[in-house]
Amino acid sequence: MKKVSMKDIAKELNTSITTVSFVINGKSEEMGISPVTAKKVRDLIKKRGFNPNSAARILRTGKSKTIGLIVEDIGNYFFGNIAKVIEKEAHKNGYNVFFSSTENNDNTAKELITKMRNSSVDGYIITATQGLKDDIVKLKDENVPFVLIDRLVPNVETNYVILDNYIGSYDLTKHLLDNGYSRIGFISIFSEMSAMVEREKGFMNAMADADITVQPKKILKVTFGETDENIIKAIKKYLVKNPDIDALFFATNYLGVMGIEALQQSNLNIPADIAVVSFDDNDLFRLLSPSITVAAQPIEEIATESIQLLLRIIKKEQKPLKTVGEIIKPKIIIRNSSPKKTKKA
């Protein structure tokens, strides 16, 4: 069951491979192939079910019409939907998407970049991991088109599309403060990546602007990749150690989910006992009673901007070396988990 090739088509039509190639690539007019010949070629291609071999084309042209998408975790709501939108947009532009999860592991990320490089991807959209700086710098030095999303690499100028994490965090904290909460706990992950750093800074600055000192023990950081159970356990322990907090700020989607589980297991009511706000939105936050106040990331916008920026770079419409990034504004959605605080007896 041999696959049919351009040679077969050419032979059957008593023409040359060149002609067939021109027709396939829509260059028949430009190259002056007679419409009659072109039609004959097109018809036979359809009849024989011919499809050009990608490997040969890539080998020859060095272009794969494929972009590599490296995310943290494709199983996560945020990245799964980012991937979905990027894929759709890429297909619209004739590009395929190769995607893969780093699980926030540097080595996995490095391997993925090399692997995709060997597959001749035309460009990357990357969610960087913590120790990826050298590899990003290398891509940049070698003029490989790429766009960073979700987080920046400190001290490296690149193209990027990120959320304004600082503002989201500041505003979410301000909202709690405005509603009368002051003993606010902040739950995040250990990370030097920009997104997490900015979220913490936004929280701290909002607190400072309200003249509130944040005690270190009010801040809990867990390790990325820790099991759900251990995260929940850590949050429960934190709750016992901090009985005075009146509100909790979760710095990510999955921490919020784990946190709600921990609160339920600790028999603490939202918002009567503790108000809750979280970064990112999801079905749970929206439909839980009470629904959770969040700083939502406009997924569609982030995904669309990043793929379009990348395509512009690939098509050389935009200099890759000049820092051109998009900063997307988060959307604060106020729900029922953070109402105006009622005076306690």
Partner DNA sequence: CTGAAAGCGCTTACAG
Binding region for a second copy (CB under 8 A):
1, 51-56, 58-59, 64, 73-77, 80-81, 83-84, 87-88, 96-101, 114-115, 117-120, 142-143, 257, 260-261, 264, 282-284, 286-289
Quote the crossing angle between the two packed helices 77-92 and 299-314, to the nearest 10°. 40
Calpha distance 255→112 (Å, rounded): 26
Nearer to DNA, 47 or 237 (CB): 47
Nearer to a second copy, 33 or 232 (CB): 232
Question: How far is Cα of residue 335 from the mean position of the Cα atoms in its chain?
Answer: 25
Give me the residues paired with residue 187 across strands: 220, 250
340 makes contact, choosing from a second copy, DNA, none, with CB < 5 to 8 Å by partner type, with none
Calpha distance 182→207 (Å, rounded): 8
Nearer to a second copy, 64 or 129 (CB): 64
238 makes contact, choosing from DNA, a second copy, none, with CB < 5 to 8 Å by partner type, with none
> At its nearest, how many Å lie between a second copy and the CB of residue 84?
4
> At its nearest, how many Å lie between a second copy and the CB of residue 197?
26
Nearer to a second copy, 99 or 170 (CB): 99
> At its nearest, how many Å lie between DNA and the CB of residue 30?
9
> At its nearest, how many Å lie between a second copy and the CB of residue 219?
24
Radius of gyration for the chain, computed over Cα atoms and rounded to the nearest angstrom: 26
> At its nearest, how many Å lie between a second copy and the CB of residue 96?
7
33 makes contact, choosing from a second copy, DNA, none, with CB < 5 to 8 Å by partner type, with DNA
Nearer to DNA, 22 or 160 (CB): 22
SS3 272: coil
24 makes contact, choosing from DNA, a second copy, none, with CB < 5 to 8 Å by partner type, with DNA
Residue 211: is it exposed, middle or buried by C-beta count within 10 angstroms (0-12/13-18/19+)?
Answer: exposed
**Alpha-carbon separation of residue 245 from 242, 249, 266, 271, 330 (angstroms):** 6, 11, 14, 12, 26
Structure tokens at 152: 């920046």
Calpha distance 10→223 (Å, rounded): 60
Calpha distance 81→86 (Å, rounded): 8
> At its nearest, how many Å lie between DNA and the CB of residue 38?
7
Binding site for DNA (CB under 7 A): 2-3, 5-7, 14-19, 21-22, 24-25, 31-34, 37, 50, 52-53, 56-57, 59-61
In the block, which residue shows the tokens 């190769």?
Answer: 98
> At its nearest, how many Å lie between a second copy and the CB of residue 46?
13
Nearer to DNA, 13 or 288 (CB): 13
* Cα end-to-end distance, the chain, whole Å: 82
* CB 114, CB 92: distance < 8 Å: no
Nearer to a second copy, 64 or 293 (CB): 64
